[in-house]
Copies of this chain bind each other. A is one copy, B any other.
Amino acid sequence: MRDGWIAIAGLGPGSDAMVTPQVRDAMRQATDVIGYIPYVARVAPREGLTLHPSDNRVEIDRAVHALTLAAAGRRVVVVSSGDPGVFAMAAAVFEALESGPPAWRDLRIDVLPGITAMLAASARAGAPLGHDFCAINLSDNLKPWGLIERRVRLAVEADFAIAFYNPRSKARAEGFAAILRLLRGICGDERPMLFARAVSTSDEHLQVVPLSQATPEMADMRTMVIVGSSATRIIERAAGPILYTPRSAA
């Protein structure tokens, strides 16, 4: 058991150019890689490395699997896209750790940060998160919908720029439409929004639109949505608009 460890590693938004050397190094030392199918698919197979891809929504099973392997002496990398600490596997591993055998607490567990989706999207569009901001997961799998709406209202009242993770999936088609209606009621029609799909991959697609022109169909599972604060501005250019929030409050 003493040689086993877990590294919970962030692969960034998609491009290998945004994977940190620290994460690469953990991959080289690993005996096992555990994670959601499309993230494990980003890891190059090699002799001595066992890949354990698993389906979505089995985060706790995956976490228990990782802890069990590490306790048996394996060197386990749990992969998330983006940053593992932001709506990803790190919290799931610690939930499993807290409710698991006490001996698991002697394991070495490292969290290796990555470029989270909101920062990758923000960078591609300019700097919409350049002043105070918040991050809200729009999935209601793990929290009541009423809490999500309440947080969005308070975030607008605080005049944060808002990054929405998991804005919309096939199983949750209606929620994001309700959020757009809520935002129109409290932000007005002209608030700038960013829809950034699959940033840094060959499927990348960016749209900057005023709230009045935003539609639910602009978002899917691979889209990061950012709503500007009242101070967020657009610079028009031939090469495409830049979206940014100045450092000073309005």
A interface, CB within 8 angstroms of B: 12, 15-22, 25, 59, 83-88, 90-92, 94-95, 97-98, 105-106, 108-116, 119-120, 122-124, 126-137, 142-144, 147, 150-151, 154-155, 157-160, 233, 235-239, 242, 244-249
Contacts and interface: CB of A to CB of B under 8 A. Distances in A.
7 contacts: A15-B22, A16-B21, A85-B119, A85-B122, A85-B128, A90-B123, A90-B130
A95 B154 contact: no
A128 to B, nearest CB: 8
A85 B158 contact: no
Where chain A touches its partner, the secondary structure class is mixed
Contact of A20 (B19, B109, B116, B158): B19
B131 A123 contact: no
B249 A92 contact: no
Contacts of A242: 94, 97, 109
A94 to B, nearest CB: 4
A59 to B, nearest CB: 7
Contacts of A119: 83, 85-86, 113, 116
A135 B133 contact: yes
Contacts of A116: 119
Contacts of A249: 142-144, 147
A151 B160 contact: yes
Nearest to A139: B247
